[in-house]
Amino acid sequence: MERVVITGIGSVSALGHDSNTMFQNLLSGVSGVGPISHFDTEGHDTKIAAEVKDLPVEKYFDVKSLKKFDRFSQFAWIAAEEAMKQSGLQLEQLDLHRAGVLIGSGIGGIMTLEATMEQYRLRGTKGVSPFFISNLISNEAGGNVAIRYGFKGMNFGIVSACSTGTHCIGESFKAIRYKEQDIMIAGGTEASITPLTVAGFSNMKAMSRNNQNPKNASRPFDRDRDGFVIGEGSGVLVMESLTHAKKRGANILAEVIGYGATCDAHHITAIAPGGEGMARAIQLALSQAGTGLDSVDYINAHGTSTPIGDKYETECIKSVFKEHAYRLSVSSTKSMIGHLLGAAGGVESVVCVKSLLEQCVHPTMNLDNPDEGCDLDYVAKEARQKKVTVVLKNSMGFGGHNAALLFRAFS
């Protein structure tokens, strides 16, 4: 089996159009949440989101080619560009048949869907673009990135709701570990701040309605949390076998050492009591990595700011790590960039790598009064410099989909 390393990272989020800007804003406790500007929120109970602002799409796409990219595909393309540039990969020196792409989206091109439905209502079939289907389907983000770089290895779309990005990275890890691929571009992307999506999540009581104080609305583990804040963006890793990376003299950022995937088989939206399924995913990742409980220094939590989710995730961490749970640092990226749905695991994996590189853990913001039972060290409100060697990333998705990744500082 091969060791799997990370040689490039890239992201787009409400806190910046690249990974360095995003991470520095996270360390500073900056919130990307504000009033929704993508559409008129009149009549909506939820009027806030973490939007990507001022994205310079003209740097990457001409006017004609933009017609072929829904916003979620644009995000993936831009994040992949950053990651590939950092990796230093030279396409002419690669076996492109052993280079793949696995970038998933939980919802896909819903912006295209809603806009096209309106045009169809107004103009009939003449209002439907020939690019409608290719912009709509969620695998097209990965397909477009593969075309960009000529990667001819494995490429398909994973859709597992809020675990999508984490699953994509985990399955890419397996493909390299078992020598099926040498290189993978992996992660998640999402652009679902639309009238239907916001109404749907809000009507199921999953989203915050704290419209008066948007920057304080996402408050994981706090007793006054009232649901998640939707975000958008993309997070992508370039992963390679250690053999391949060493052969070309790559700058190695970190290592992926474990992955676990399980299902609750409990409820279509609710997490299993105590986070039982997530606990099993963590245990699988730890077993695969061959590392002890006390080796984990930091957990980048799923931490959505939902009443049941945060409670059960805390119980899950305690059930796995026992007394070590109280020595761990735990924080929620979603407290500042919102919940990016299928992109969450990708962006948060970028954060995990940055935490290893910077030896610093970002805070959980808006944690004023920890809820009963939420008694771990959530790095409340201020970033913390600390030795970080092994990081755990948790993800849980509607449908009972759980995924866990373990990252380690490379040595």
Residue 358, pLDDT score: 98
The boundaries of the domain holding residue 162 are: 1-411
User: Tell me: the pLDDT tens digits for 205-246?
Assistant: 999 999 999 999 999 999 999 999 999 999 999 999 999 999
Phi then psi for residue 316, to 5 deg, are -60, -45
Q: Which of 302, 316, 374, 401 is catalytic?
A: 302
Say if residues 218 and 229 touch (Cβ distance below 8 Å): yes
How far, in Å, CA of 235 to CA of 388, rounded? 21
pLDDT at 90 > cutoff 90: yes
Residue 214, pLDDT score: 98
How far, in Å, CA of 215 to CA of 8, rounded? 30
Residue 64, pLDDT score: 87
Q: Which of 162, 168, 316, 352 is catalytic?
A: 162
**CATH no. for residue 196?**
3.40.47.10
Query: Which amino acid is residue 6, in one-letter code?
Result: I
- Could you tell me what percent of the chain has a pLDDT over 70? 100
Residue 44, pLDDT score: 98
Residue 63, pLDDT score: 87
Is there a catalytic annotation at residue 302?
yes
pLDDT at 397 > cutoff 90: yes
User: Tell me: the pLDDT tens digits for 332-385?
Assistant: 999 999 999 999 999 999 999 999 999 999 999 999 999 999 999 999 999 999
Residue 196: both structure tokens together: 């239907």
Mean pLDDT, residues 378-402 = 98
How far, in Å, CA of 393 to CA of 316, rounded? 13
Query: In what side-by-side order are the strands of the sheet with 401-408?
Result: 99-104, 183-190, 233-241, 4-12, 254-263, 401-408, 390-397, 298-300, 329-331
User: Tell me: the pLDDT tens digits for 140-174?
Assistant: 999 999 999 999 999 998 999 999 999 999 999 99
Q: How many domains does the chain have?
A: 1
The count of other CB atoms within 10 Å of the CB of residue 284 is 18
User: Tell me: the pLDDT tens digits for 253-309?
Assistant: 999 999 999 999 999 999 999 999 999 999 999 999 999 999 999 999 999 999 999
- Give the pLDDT band (50/70/90) at residue 34: very high
Residues in a beta bridge with 238: 8, 185
Question: Model-level pTM?
Answer: 0.98
pLDDT averaged over every residue in the chain: 97
Q: Which of 167, 244, 339, 362 is catalytic?
A: 339
Q: What is the 3-class SS of 37-83, one letter each residue?
A: CCCCCCCCCCCEEECCCCCCHHHCCCHHHHCCCCHHHHHHHHHHHHH
Is there a catalytic annotation at residue 97?
no
* DSSP three-state, residue 364: strand
- The β-bridge relationship of strands 329-331 and 360-361 is unpaired
Is there a catalytic annotation at residue 324?
no
